[in-house]
Amino acid sequence: MAGLRHELSAPDGRTLSVLKEGAADDPVVIAHHGTPGAGLLFRTEIESAGRLGLRLLAYDRPGYGGSTPHPGRTVADAAGDVAAILDALGAERFASYGVSGGGPHALACAAALPERCAGAATVAGVGEFAAADLDFLAGMGEGNQEEFGKALDGREPLAAFLEAETEGLKAASADLLAEAMRPHLSTADAAALTGELAAFLFAGFMRGLRPGIDGWLDDDLAFVAPWGFDVAAIGVPVLVWQGDQDLMVPAAHGDWLRGRIPGAEGGIEPGEGHLTLFANRVADVHAWLAERLG
């Protein structure tokens, strides 16, 4: 079935644009997109959710796509938006996963909504920037090194950098995306960024950045600021997966998260990059979350 898009309202009046796949009475799984990106769903996500009988929801984070910006938002604020989405759609219990920049937002839901969240997964997601025992930038590609350096410089320098990056992405195409993203990619990811995966990622960039850079800007600033919750206090089941060929979010981030989140499962997947981990393993993530939903 074709996905349905809903324009919902947050308690403060902001619009949240949500894509839904699956039947209204199926268990709910909420997907958090990467940075930058949008609430779209890849073919393998839709197919695996359908096999498992899951209602899959993906939403544009504030400032991306059809969702109103929320300047100054923290990572923790994602939980309030998710609660608003669940309430609007008449859902109580859910599970959640995030890819790349979506990972911390999935963890925010686990931390802030333990009575509703059956489990959360972070796939190639970042750890906390200010953690004393995580060298956040170590092992990242030069593109990410520069981007987070600008984030530390403040809103205006970062905005100027992201405007230029956005222009470069919009001037590219799905076929040229691997070349445009070269400073961010490992060999494994560069080889995989073709065909339908490249088309999906490019569509997410174009939708997410259509209204401008606000979503990307606020994501980056939220990542280098305190997240607004303690990962060590998460009490629901968590799955953490990272690839050992990831230059966007190196494996050390996965090790750090699993070392801090009580009882976290998962590990470092050999041979997987940032993009390939999502493309190859999302069905396994769905299966893990479905088990927690019962």
pLDDT tens digits, one per residue of 152-186? 999 999 999 999 999 988 888 888 888 878 777 88
Over residues 15-32, the pLDDT tens digits come to 999 999 999 999 999 999
- In total, how many domains does the chain have? 1
What is the SS3 assignment for 191?
helix
d(C-alpha 157, C-alpha 241), whole Å: 32
pLDDT band at 144 (very low <50, low <70, confident <90, very high): confident
Over residues 245-275, the pLDDT tens digits come to 999 999 999 999 999 999 999 999 999 999 9
Which pLDDT belongs to residue 181?
82
- Residue 122 predicted with pLDDT over 50: yes
Which pLDDT belongs to residue 177?
85
The residue range of the domain holding 9 is: 4-293
What is the SS3 assignment for 266?
strand
d(C-alpha 67, C-alpha 59), whole Å: 8
Whether 207 contacts 40, CB under 8 Å: yes
> pTM for this one?
0.96
Which residues are within 8 A (CB) of 149 and not within 5 positions of it... i.e. 6 or more apart? none
- Residue 292 predicted with pLDDT over 70: yes
Whether 113 contacts 229, CB under 8 Å: no
Alpha-carbon 139 to chain mean position? 20
Domain at 22, CATH number: 3.40.50.1820
Which pLDDT belongs to residue 60?
98
- Residue 1 predicted with pLDDT over 80: no
d(C-alpha 131, C-alpha 136), whole Å: 8
pLDDT band at 217 (very low <50, low <70, confident <90, very high): very high
